[in-house]
Amino acid sequence: IKMKKTILFFTLFMLFLTKGEAIWCYRCVSSTPGCSDIFNWRGIGYLGEQCPEDNDVCVKITERKGASETITRDCLSTIKAFRTDIPADQYEGCRPAAKDVRLAHYVNNTIKELDIRRDFYTSTEFCFCFLDHRCNTASAFSTISVKILFTITSISLVFYRFL
């Protein structure tokens, strides 16, 4: 009977745990050594950072103009504040940037370097990932699956004793 109480206690304890695992993304720009198209995590010197929001997505932005290429790696929630060209479809995979026709509508600016229309780069591509463990370091076993596995095991052990 003491074993049943212990199993019941741990089952309830596991069900009330609420801490989840957030996705980890590399956050760097191609000017950082190791963060270019050929990625080397040893070059940037760390294994990434935890994203600020729960249901976040890792993003790799590739911007090209001629032979020049700029790559940015970050969390989607971080870049949403200042990027207006994020594609609407943010599921796993790569897509071209969205065109924002509202940008610089009432502005007459002759300074090209400000890039208020976001047309400096000839091509911009967003690559999203949240399922592939090569783009983040979140574990394959989520907390909820461990809870369910532990609960099913505990219940089957309790019922096995009664049979």
Residue 23 confidence (pLDDT) = 81
C-alpha 134/C-alpha 41 separation (Å) is 11
The 10s digit of each residue's pLDDT in 141-153 is: 444 556 666 777 7
For the record, the structure tokens of 61 come out as 């932005």
Mean pLDDT of 115-139: 68
Q: What's the predicted TM-score (pTM) here?
A: 0.63
pLDDT in tens, 41-61: 776 667 778 888 888 899 999
Reported for 80-86, long-range contacts at CB under 8 A and 24+ positions apart, including other chains, are 84/118, 85/118, 85/124, 86/126
Residues 97-108: pLDDT tens digits? Answer: 887 766 655 666
